[in-house]
Amino acid sequence: MASLIENLITGLNEEYAVYEKLLEVSMEKTSSIISNNLDRLKATTDKEQALVDVITSYESKRNSTMANIASVLNKKASELKISDVVSFLDGQPEFREPLVEINEKLA
């Protein structure tokens, strides 16, 4: 179970980092639109799409990890939320705290 939680935390942190990059690219895109720079807009849109593809991959991995955690906890994967996993980790601050922290960042 510990490795599943570690995988979840690592994946969420990596996903967060990509969202941060996506935010930067979105700001570039806005600047491109305002300045009417179509070449830069196209390049920025391409970067944006590549990042969305990466996020989709991370979401898939997260869903798979959550399904595995749900199986261990004997819960339905479709009903298990990160907050449920956090509750399960009450006695394990080494996992609980990083999970709470990244969950709050992504909220």
The 10s digit of each residue's pLDDT in 93-103 is 999 999 999 99
Of the pLDDT bands very low, low, confident and very high (cuts 50, 70, 90), residue 72 is very high
The answer to whether residue 48 scores a pLDDT higher than 90 is yes
The angle, 0 to 180 degrees and rounded to 10, between the axes of the packed helices 38-73 and 2-34 is 160
The Cβ of residue 94 has, within 10 Å, a number of other Cβ atoms equal to: 10
What is the rounded average pLDDT for all residues in the chain?
95
Buried b (16+ CB within 10 A) or exposed e, 46-73: ebbeebeebbeebeebbeebbebbbeee
Of the pLDDT bands very low, low, confident and very high (cuts 50, 70, 90), residue 1 is confident
Contact call for residues 42 and 29 (beta carbons, < 8 A): no
Mean pLDDT, rounded, for 35-56: 97
The per-residue pLDDT for range 2-43, each reduced to its tens digit, is 999 999 999 999 999 999 999 999 999 999 999 999 999 999
